Structure 1
C-alpha cells in the first residue's frame, strides 16, 4: 500500500485554518483589484471633478462603469462562499460577462434619477416651499438607494427579467426589514468613509463592503431561492 498522502489538486484550498484564511485574503485582494480595474474609467475621473452641484451629471456618468464591476464582485464572492477554490479572477470575469447588460438596464436609470434628485436637493433653498420638500426628497433618495442595493444583489445572483427583479427588490424592502436596515447601515458607513477620508479609501475597501452586503442580504437570497427559483 502506498504511503503517499492525498494532496490538494491545483485550485483547491487546504483544510487548515491558515490555508482558508490565506485563501479568503487572496480572494478579496484579487476581487478588489479587478473591481478597481473595471471601474477605473470613472474612478480616475472623479478626483478631477470639483464638489459642485453643476458636476452632478458628470459624477453620474463617471459612475456608470461601477455598476457592472460591483455586480461581478458580488457574483465572485458568492461563488467563493458556495464552492471555495483559488480562481477568483475566473469567477469575476464570468459574472461580468453574464450580468453587465442586465445591470446597466437598471443602473443607468438609477444614476439618472439620483442625479436629478441630488440637483434638486442642492437648489431647494431658492425654491418656495423648499424646506418642506427637502425631507420628502431625502426619503425618496434613501428609498431609491436601498432599492438599488437589493436590485444589485438580485441581478448579480439570479437570472430574473429586469422588471421582475425590480418588483422583487421593492417587495423585499418591506419583506425583509432587517436586510434593508443592514443595507442602510452600510450606506451610512460608505458615506462616512467618503466624507471623513476620501472616495479612494472607499474604492480600496470595495470588496470588503461587497462581502458585507452579500452577508447582509443572506436572508433575502435564501427567501428568493425558496419562493421564486424553480428547484431542479
Structure 2
C-alpha cells in the first residue's frame, strides 16, 4: 500500500531541507548589514562596541527563525517558511530586542574589561566572576529568546520563566549551554560570519534542546 504524498521519509527530509535553506537565506538578508560590518572588523579590542552594534539584528532574526521552524506544518505539501519567518519577525522583533540588546551591552562591558585586564590591573577572581556573569546572562537570554519567539508573555514573566525552567530542568540548561559553547568555538576558531551562516541549523537545534521547556510552558501557562 503506497503512502500519501508528502508522508514518506524522503519527502520529510526534502521539506526540512527546503525550510532550513529558506530560513537561512532570510536570516542572512535580515542580518546582512551587521554581517558585512563583522567581516571587515578585526579582532582589535577597540572594535568590540562596533561588533556589538553589528550583532543587534541577530536577535530579531534568530527569533523569526525560531518562529518559522517551530511552525513547520504537519502537511508537508503546504510549506510557507518565508511567510512564517516574516510573520515571526513582525510579531517578535521588539520583544527580541528587549532581550538581545541588554545581553549585548553586558557582553560588551565584559569583553572590554577582559581585553584591557592588564592595563586596568583587574584581579583574576574578578575576571572569573565577570566571565561567569556573562555566561549566565547569555544562558538566560537565549532561553528567554526562545520563549518570546513562541509565546506572548510580559517581559518580566519571560525572564522568570527562563530562569524557572533552566533551574528546574537541568537537561534543558545543559542543552542550551552546549549549543552556546559550540557557537563560541565556531566564533573563536573560524569567525562570526560562519556562525551566522549556520543560523538556521542552530535555531533548529535550539528548538530541539528546549522542547521539554516549550511543552511545559504550553501545558502549565498557556490556556
**Where on the TM-score scale, by shorter chain, does this alignment land: which range?**
over 0.9
* 1:73 aligns to 2:95 (yes or no): no
Q: Against the structure 1 CA distance between its residues 83 and 77, is the aligned structure 2 distance closer, same or farther, given a 3 Å change threshold?
A: farther
Structure showing greater radius of gyration is 1
1:209 pairs with 195, 199, 202, which one? 202
- Write the distance in 2 (CA, Å) between the matches of 1:82 and 1:19: 12
Deviations, residues 156-192 of structure 1 (Å, cap 9, x unaligned)? 0000111110111122221111111111111111111
Deviations, residues 115-151 of structure 1 (Å, cap 9, x unaligned)? 1111112222334452121111111010011011111
Provide the aligned length of Structure 1 versus Structure 2.
221
Structure 2 gap segments, 5+ residues each: none
Deviations, residues 196-226 of structure 1 (Å, cap 9, x unaligned)? 2232221221101110000000011111111
* 1:31 aligns to 2:23 (yes or no): yes
- Write the distance in 2 (CA, Å) between the matches of 1:81 and 1:144: 33
Return the TM-score normalized by structure 2. Answer: 0.93
Question: Shift in Å at residue 83 of structure 1?
Answer: 5.9
Structure 1 gap segments, 5+ residues each: 1-6, 9-13
Q: Which residue of 2 aligns with 1:11?
A: none
| Greater relative contact order structure (CA < 8 Å, 6+ sep) | 2
Return the TM-score normalized by structure 1. Answer: 0.89
Of 122-131 and 38-47, more deviation after overlay is shown by: 122-131
